[in-house]
Structure 1
Amino acid sequence: MGVCGYLTVSWKCLVVLTFRLLFLLPAGLPVRSQGDSQPDNKVMENITVRQGETVFLTCPQGDVVTHTAWLNRSSILYAGEDKWSVDPRVSLVTFSQEEFTIKIEDVDTSDEGQYVCAVQTSSRPRTTSVHVLVLVPPQIINLSKDLVVNEGADVTLMCQAGGKPDPSLSWQLISPSGDLGSEEEVLEIPSITRQKAGTYICTAINDIGTDIQTVEITVNYAPSVSEGRDVGVTLGQKGVLECEADAMPEASFEWYRDDRRILNGFDGIEIEDLGHLSKLMFFNVSESDYGNFTCIAINTLGSSNTTFLLYGPRTVQDGNNGALGMHTHTYNCVVFVLFLLFLLRV
C-alpha cells in the first residue's frame, strides 16, 4: 500500500514521499558526507521519434535496487510499479531486476524533452537520462483563399507551414508551361493576365513528409470575338453563322441585321448559345436572308463584335462569269494580233 496508504495519505506524508523519490534517499538512509561516493550519472543517446508514434524508455537496473523511478522534468511518471502520471498514454512495459521500461503512445511535441531514470541501489544512487526529440511532418497552417480578380490586378499569395524540422515551401502554377513558381512562402504576381489564371499549388516538405494545398485564381477579362467567316448558302437550304468569343465571365451574345436586333424565332431564324459559341441558324434560306449580320459578345467588363456575310450561289456564279468573260476577251485579242501578223507577211 506504500508508505502512507492510498486512501489516508496526508499532505505532509505525500511531500515526504515525493522528496524521497526525487532525491533517491530510502527511508532510514543517512545523508552522505562529501567524502562519500557520488551518484553515477549516465547520459544516453537522444531518441528521435515521429509525432504520433510510440517511444520506449528503458533503464537498466542491476545490483540490489531499493527505489527506482522514471521522471520527466519535475514530474514522476512511474515510481517502481506505481503509476504517478495521470496521462493514459503512459504505461509500464517491464519492471524487473534487469530493466525498468515504460512507453508513451501517440507522442506529441509536448512530450519532447529530457527523461531521467533514477535508481537507488544498496551501494549508491544512479541516474540515466535521455532526451526525446519529436519530429513533426509539415502542415500548412495559413493559406490564401481562392481569388477572383480583374486582368491587370496585382496578386499576392501567402502560404505558411509548421513542422519539425522547419519545412521548405514552394509555389507552382498548374499549366502546360509551368513557368510560374516561387521557392518562398509569398508569391507575387504583378499585373496578372488571363494566361496566369488557374490552380496554384503550395508544397511544404521536410524530412518527415509533405503537405500540399491549392489556391484557385480566376481572372476576369472583356470578350474577344473571333473574326467572322462569311457563308454561302443555296436558296432553300440550311445556313449557319457561328460567333465564338473568349471571355471571363462568360459572354452573352446579341445578333443584329443592320441596326435591327434579331430575336430567337424571328422570321424563322433560331439562335443557339453554347457557352463561348453562339449560332445563328437559317433553316430555309430565302433571297431576303442574304446580307450582312453582326454578332456582339458582352460581359461586365466590356464587349466585342464581328460581322458576317450570308450570300447565295449567284454571287459566286457572277464572279465566275466575269472571269470567263475576261479570259474570252484575252483570247480574242490574241487571235486578232496573230491575224494582223499574217496579213503583214502576205
Structure 2
Amino acid sequence: MGTDKRHYKEPKTLPDKRNKRPPKRFRRWRLISSSKAVGRFPVLVETIFVEAIIPDLVITQISNGFLHGKIPAAHLPIVDRPHLLDTVVLCIAENPRFTAPITNVTAAVGREAILTCLVEDLGNFKVAWLRVDTQTILTIHNHVITKNHRIGVTHSEHKTWFLHIREIKATDKGWYMCQINTDPMKSQVGYLDVVVPPDILDYATSADIVTREGSNVNLHCKANGFPMPSITWKRETGEMIKLPNGREVANVEGNFLNLTRVSRQQMGPYLCIASNGVPPSVSKRIMLVIHFPPMVWIKNQLVGAYEGQQVTLECHLEAFPKSINYWINERGEMISQSNGRYEPLQKSHNYKTYMKLKIEHVSQSDYGKYKCIAKNALGETDGTIQLFAIPKPSKLLNGIDNDLQDQAGSLLQDKNYVNTASAASRKFICTNFLLVLSALHRLQ
C-alpha cells in the first residue's frame, strides 16, 4: 500500500515485537476503520499491531496511555510489510450496546415469563440480569446467581439474552434490568406484569341459605385476582331472577344479589361467577332453600264409579321440607298396599309431589270420602275426594227414552270419563249426569 511520505514521521522508538502475536489480553481490542470519532470518554490504550492505515481514517490521539482528541491517520506510521509486525500504533476498546429496548411482558400466575435483552458487539464483556426493586443479582452471563430455582438464563450467539422465570408468582411482578459490565455500566429495564385468574373468597361469600317463604334474602360474593374480577349472578337451572322491582332478568352484575319476599319458585341453586379476562373463570354454587307448610290441590273432588270399575283418585301437593304423605278413608283408616285392591303411588320433584290412589274393582264398601294428607315440621293439610256410585251403563240405559239414551251413552262410553275430561267438559258432563239421574227418578 502506498503512502504520502510528506506526512510520514519516523517514530522515536518502537518496541521489538517482530514476528510475535499479540498477547491474549489484547484480543478484545479492535481497529476502528471509520471517519467517526472514537469513544465518548477516555479509554485505556493497550498495544496492537496494525497492518495498514486507511488515509482518511481519523484516530483518537494517545496521551499518557489514554485516548484523547483526534489526529489524522496520515500522521501515523504505515507498515508496508504487516507480517513483520514491527509498528505499534494504538488500540480501541470494544463498544457493546443494546440494539432494542426490553419488551414488557405480561404473564399469568403459574406460567413462564421470558424477558429478552438484545446486545451487539459484546466481546469479552458480560451480561447480567437484576431485579430492580430488591437490587438482587439474578444471573451473570451463563450463570444463575440467585438461589431461586425458578430463574434461568439462555442466550443466542451472545446477542440475544433471555431471562426465564418459571411458575410465575404474583410477587414476581416488577422491573427487571439487563446490564453490561462496561465502565460506566450500561443497562436497560423491562417490566413484568403478572395477571392472576379470579379466586372466590369463601369467607366473604354467602353459604347455602335456608329461610321462610316471604322473607328477604341478600346474597353476596367476593373474589380476588388481577385485574379485579367482576361478579355475575345466574340461576343454575337457567330460570329468571326476580328483582325487587318485579322485573325478571337472566343475570345480575355486582357483588350483591337482593331478593325480596322470596317465594318457593325462587328456591334452587344460584351461581356466583367471577371473571377478569384471565382464564379460567370460577364460580360458586349457593343453594337457596325456602321452607313453607304443605299445600294441597285436588282437580276432581267428586269422582263417580260403578261397581267393578277401576278408578284413580289424584292429589297434588307442595311442601318443603318434604312432607309425609298418605291416604285415609272416611273411617280414618290409613290405606297401604297391603290391601291388594288399593295401590297408593306418589312421584316427587323438588318441592312438588303428585299422589294418586288406584282402586281395583270398586265395591259398595269403597264408596265414601278419601283424604290425602301431607305433614311437615311447619304444618299439616289435607284434601278430600268423594267417591260416589253410579249405575252401570246397561242399567242406566234400560227404560229411558231415546233422547236420554244418547246423552247417557256418550256420558258412560269411557269408564274413566271423570278423570280424563277437561275442566269445562267435566262440568258439562256432571250437569248432564244430574239431569239423567233426575229423569231416571221421574221414570221410576
Please confirm whether the aligned pair reaches a TM-score higher than 0.5, indicating the same fold. Answer: yes
Partners of 2:180 and 2:374 lie apart in 1 by 85
Partners of 1:305 and 1:285 lie apart in 2 by 23
Answer yes or no: is 1:170 the counterpart of 2:240: no
Partners of 2:316 and 2:211 lie apart in 1 by 23
Answer yes or no: is 1:56 the counterpart of 2:114: yes
Partners of 2:152 and 2:373 lie apart in 1 by 76
In structure 1, what is the equivalent of residue 44 of structure 2? none
Shift of 1:190: 2.6
Deviations 1:47-78 (A, max 9, x none): 22222222222223334443431111321111
TM-score by length of 2: 0.58
More displaced, 141-150 or 301-310? 141-150
In structure 2, what is the equivalent of residue 194 of structure 1? 264
Partners of 2:305 and 2:340 lie apart in 1 by 16
After TM superposition, list the pairs within 5 Å mapping 1:13-92 onto structure 2.
Answer: 44-63=102-121, 64-72=123-131, 73-92=134-153
More displaced, 177-186 or 282-291? 177-186
Q: 1:259 to 1:47 in 2, by over 3 A?
A: same
Partners of 1:266 and 1:97 lie apart in 2 by 92
After TM superposition, list the pairs within 5 Å mapping 1:177-216 onto structure 2.
Answer: 177-178=240-241, 179=248, 181-209=251-279, 210-216=281-287
Q: Does the residue aligned with 1:61 lie in a helix, a strand or coil? A: strand
Please say if residues 298 and 304 of structure 1, whose CA atoms lie closer than 8 Å, have aligned partners that are also in contact.
yes
Give the one of 219, 223, 243 matched to 1:157. 219
In structure 2, what is the equivalent of residue 127 of structure 1? 187
Please say if residues 112 and 134 of structure 1, whose CA atoms lie closer than 8 Å, have aligned partners that are also in contact.
yes
More displaced, 40-49 or 245-254? 40-49
Shift of 1:117: 1.3
In structure 2, what is the equivalent of residue 344 of structure 1? none
Shift of 1:182: 2.7
Please say if residues 228 and 308 of structure 1, whose CA atoms lie closer than 8 Å, have aligned partners that are also in contact.
no
Shift of 1:227: 2.2
Partners of 1:82 and 1:191 lie apart in 2 by 68
One-letter amino acid of the counterpart of residue 322, structure 1: S
Answer yes or no: is 1:313 the counterpart of 2:313: no
Partners of 1:194 and 1:261 lie apart in 2 by 32
Deviations 1:70-93 (A, max 9, x none): 111321111222211122221121
Shift of 1:310: 0.9
Shift of 1:296: 2.0
After TM superposition, list the pairs within 5 Å mapping 1:235-314 onto structure 2.
Answer: 235-258=307-330, 260-264=332-336, 270=342, 272-275=344-347, 276-314=353-391
Q: Which structure shows the bigger proportion of residues in strand conformation?
A: 1
One-letter amino acid of the counterpart of residue 257, structure 2: L
Please say if residues 264 and 271 of structure 1, whose CA atoms lie closer than 8 Å, have aligned partners that are also in contact.
yes
One-letter amino acid of the counterpart of residue 52, structure 1: G
Partners of 1:74 and 1:148 lie apart in 2 by 55
Q: Does the residue aligned with 2:125 lie in a helix, a strand or coil? A: strand
One-letter amino acid of the counterpart of residue 240, structure 2: S
Shift of 1:184: 1.3
TM-score by length of 1: 0.73
Please say if residues 169 and 204 of structure 1, whose CA atoms lie closer than 8 Å, have aligned partners that are also in contact.
yes
Partners of 2:150 and 2:208 lie apart in 1 by 40
More displaced, 176-185 or 305-314? 176-185
Partners of 1:321 and 1:131 lie apart in 2 by 96
Q: Does the residue aligned with 1:260 lie in a helix, a strand or coil? A: coil
Answer yes or no: is 1:222 the counterpart of 2:281: no
In structure 1, what is the equivalent of residue 42 of structure 2? none
One-letter amino acid of the counterpart of residue 138, structure 1: P
Task: Return structure 1 stretches of 4+ with deviation > 4 angstroms.
Answer: 40-43, 265-269, 315-318
One-letter amino acid of the counterpart of residue 281, structure 1: K
One-letter amino acid of the counterpart of residue 136, structure 1: V
Shift of 1:144: 2.2
Partners of 1:290 and 1:163 lie apart in 2 by 70
Deviations 1:137-178 (A, max 9, x none): 222223322233221233222211111111111112244334
Please say if residues 102 and 116 of structure 2, whose CA atoms lie closer than 8 Å, have aligned partners that are also in contact.
no
Please say if residues 341 and 361 of structure 2, whose CA atoms lie closer than 8 Å, have aligned partners that are also in contact.
no
Give the one of 142, 146, 154 matched to 2:208. 146
Please say if residues 228 and 306 of structure 1, whose CA atoms lie closer than 8 Å, have aligned partners that are also in contact.
no
Which structure 1 segments of 5+ residues have no match? 1-39, 329-346
Deviations 1:252-307 (A, max 9, x none): 22434336233426876535242423333332322222122222222111122221
Shift of 1:239: 2.6
Partners of 1:282 and 1:216 lie apart in 2 by 40
The percent identity for this pair of structures is 27
Aligned residue pair count: 287
Q: Does the residue aligned with 2:365 lie in a helix, a strand or coil? A: helix
In structure 2, what is the equivalent of residue 98 of structure 1? 159
Does 1 or 2 have the higher relative contact order (CA < 8 Å, sep 6+)?
A: 1
In structure 2, what is the equivalent of residue 18 of structure 1? none
Q: 1:272 to 1:61 in 2, by over 3 A?
A: same
In structure 2, what is the equivalent of residue 9 of structure 1? none
Partners of 1:274 and 1:119 lie apart in 2 by 83
Shift of 1:195: 1.1
Q: 1:54 to 1:88 in 2, by over 3 A?
A: same
Q: Does the residue aligned with 1:195 lie in a helix, a strand or coil? A: helix
Give the one of 234, 254, 263 matched to 2:306. 234
Q: 1:283 to 1:140 in 2, by over 3 A?
A: same
